[in-house]
Amino acid sequence: MKISNILTVIIAVLTIQTFTSLKSYSSEREITFTNNTGKTVDDLHIEFTNKNTEWDDTKPHTFNSERHDAGKNNHNFYGTAIPNGGTATMSFKLANGDITINRWWWTIGGNAIADGQREGEIKADNFTNNLSFNGGPATGNGLISVSCQGINTMFNFIPGFLPEQTAVMFLNFMQNNYNFGGIKRVFLNQTSPRQICVESNRLGNPIDEIQIEIIAMDLSQPVMLLESSLNKLNMTGLIEGLYNPSLNKLKMDYTTVQLRSAVSPYNLVDFTGTSLDSNGNGRFFFANAQNNVPYWLVLDYKNGIETWSYDGMNRFISNQMNFDFTTAANKAYGSNQLQMGTRYAEYSGDIDKNGVVDATDLSLVENAATNFEVGYTITDIDLSLFVDASDYAYVDNNASRFVVTIIPSP
């Protein structure tokens, strides 16, 4: 897709509803599936990204019967005839994370013990586009118009902002203007320091349009749109300096993940990043990963201790993978995480990124504090935008603990 002076991006979005549950469920989603097979079908098959997704039969549902094995991500609904052009609405709930679908399809003749005959295509839940901010500090004359479901907004470039800062600002702009009031209209993700991924749904009807128009291209920070079809890692992780255990909130900042071969010497396969949300959740997209191939996952932050997953047997299945570092210390190799409240986080303080928190890191933070450094700097451990005694304390504590990167033996 080419960028001209006016860029229009049309993204099909499934009508969905996302709520904060009054009980223990953090996500609920009502989904309408349309039958375009040309035949009457009576069996709906859904494979969720998260195997803990549950059917909520207290909410609107077209099918009354389900075939599902506990602990698996496949759900099969049967016993209701859906004519060609008709729809089936089902509701789902999940205790932690977003409800997303790997794939789904219709069949005829399914029942309580067996699948029916598949009709039509196997469909996916999401597709993606990346909006890339390039060049140097913004001149400030860039202007992007965004509209969706009758909401029209303008995004203004800020003079002097680097592409990395503009990308984060655009992500927050989209979240604040289009995902509110219990409705998640789009999924947004920072796929690199300078790119924002707009991930949207294409299930069923009606189709809502998101229109993005570049009204004015910034003179020193041009924008490009890149389409992508990538492997997706849904990962949860925390960073010590950014996490407040009392509030159970993480400050949002760009964090990276490496995919490494499961076989020694554990060569780098792919590398990407995103901004983790306030719960520590992020979507990481990989171009070079393969399905059903084992990988080590390596979580890293700009001034954190590189943290490896507990083993190298993590695989993409149907282009999806899930991993949560935060539930136990031993989710990291060598249990190399810090307990903060009931969750676990990557250690902070490796300023020079040599794999150890030591006197050199202390000196770097001390010098930055003495020089009254402000802004987005590597010595700002807690992302307060200035370097002070609080940042020094993080490094001092972890140097005293002899915190180092722990990696698998060759």
Contact 30, 16 (CB under 8 A): yes
Domain end residue (candidates: 210, 228, 246): 228
Q: How many residues does the chain have?
A: 410
Burial of 113 (0-12, 13-18, 19+ CB in 10 A): exposed
Rounded alpha-carbon distances, angstroms, from residue 2 to 5, 8, 102, 126, 249: 10, 10, 29, 21, 39
* Mean pLDDT within 333-357: 96
Lowest mean pLDDT among 20-24, 117-121, 180-184: 20-24
398 sits in which H/E element: helix 389-400
CATH number where 409 lies: 2.60.40.4130
Whole-angstrom Cα distance, residue 334 to residue 58? Answer: 43
Q: What is the pLDDT of residue 92?
A: 87
Residue 307, phi then psi, degrees to nearest 5: -125, 120
Higher-pLDDT residue of 145 and 405 is 405
Whole-angstrom Cα distance, residue 409 to residue 400? Answer: 25
Give the pLDDT band of residue 125 (cuts 50, 70, 90): low
* Structure tokens that stand for 194 in this block: 């300078």
Are 250 and 368 within one domain? yes
Rounded alpha-carbon distances, angstroms, from residue 172 to 99, 165, 341: 21, 11, 28
Residue 145, phi then psi, degrees to nearest 5: -100, 135
Q: What is the pLDDT of residue 208?
A: 47
In a domain, 322, yes or no: yes
Whole-angstrom Cα distance, residue 130 to residue 118? Answer: 33
The predicted model scores a pTM of 0.51
* Structure tokens that stand for 221 in this block: 């920070």
Q: What is the pLDDT of residue 124?
A: 55
Contact 29, 49 (CB under 8 A): no
Higher-pLDDT residue of 252 and 251 is 251
- Say whether pLDDT at 401 is over 70: yes
Q: What is the pLDDT of residue 184?
A: 65
Are 281 and 387 within one domain? yes
DSSP string, 244-309: ETTTTEE---EEEEEEEESSTTT-EEEEEEEE--TTSEEEEEESS--BT--EEEEEE-TTB--EEB
* Crossing angle for the helix pair 389-400 and 359-370, to the nearest 10 degrees: 170
In a domain, 379, yes or no: yes
Lowest mean pLDDT among 4-8, 143-147, 343-347: 4-8
Taking only the tens place, the pLDDT of each residue in 174-228 is 888 887 776 666 767 776 788 887 765 433 333 345 677 788 899 999 988 665 5
Higher-pLDDT residue of 103 and 388 is 388
Contact 128, 230 (CB under 8 A): yes
- Say whether pLDDT at 21 is over 60: no
Domain end residue (candidates: 95, 123, 151): 123
Are 189 and 308 within one domain? no
Are 216 and 234 within one domain? no
Give the pLDDT band of residue 235 (cuts 50, 70, 90): very high
Whole-angstrom Cα distance, residue 275 to residue 228? Answer: 18
Residue 247, phi then psi, degrees to nearest 5: -95, -10
Are 85 and 192 within one domain? no
Are 73 and 174 within one domain? no
Closest CA relative to residue 9, chosen from 154, 147, 159: 147
Q: What is the pLDDT of residue 226?
A: 64
The total domain count for the chain is 3
Helix (H, G, I), strand (E, B) or coil at 113: coil
- Say whether pLDDT at 240 is over 80: yes
Q: What is the pLDDT of residue 89?
A: 87
In a domain, 6, yes or no: no
Domain end residue (candidates: 228, 256, 279): 228
Give the pLDDT band of residue 268 (cuts 50, 70, 90): very high
In a domain, 16, yes or no: no
Are 302 and 160 within one domain? no
CATH number where 158 lies: 2.60.40
In a domain, 90, yes or no: yes
Are 167 and 256 within one domain? no
Are 163 and 107 within one domain? no
Range of the domain at 168: 127-228
Whole-angstrom Cα distance, residue 53 to residue 48? Answer: 7
- Which sign, positive or negative, has the C-alpha torsion 111, 117, 120, 121? positive
Q: Given the DSSP bridges, would you call strands 117-123 and 101-108 parallel, antiparallel or unpaired?
A: antiparallel
Q: Report the range out of 123-137, 178-192, 266-280 with the highest average pLDDT.
A: 266-280
Taking only the tens place, the pLDDT of each residue in 141-161 is 999 888 776 788 999 999 999
Are 238 and 350 within one domain? yes
In a domain, 9, yes or no: no
Torsion over CA of 345, 348, 353 and 359, rounded to 10 degrees? -140
In a domain, 2, yes or no: no
Q: Mean of the per-residue pLDDT values for the chain?
A: 83
- Say whether pLDDT at 3 is over 50: no
Our CA angle for 183, 184, 190, nearest 5°, is 155
Are 388 and 247 within one domain? yes
Contact 63, 56 (CB under 8 A): no
Q: What is the pLDDT of residue 102?
A: 65
Q: What is the pLDDT of residue 115?
A: 73
* Mean pLDDT within 324-349: 97
- Say whether pLDDT at 328 is over 50: yes
Are 88 and 146 within one domain? no
Whole-angstrom Cα distance, residue 30 to residue 179? Answer: 16
In a domain, 14, yes or no: no
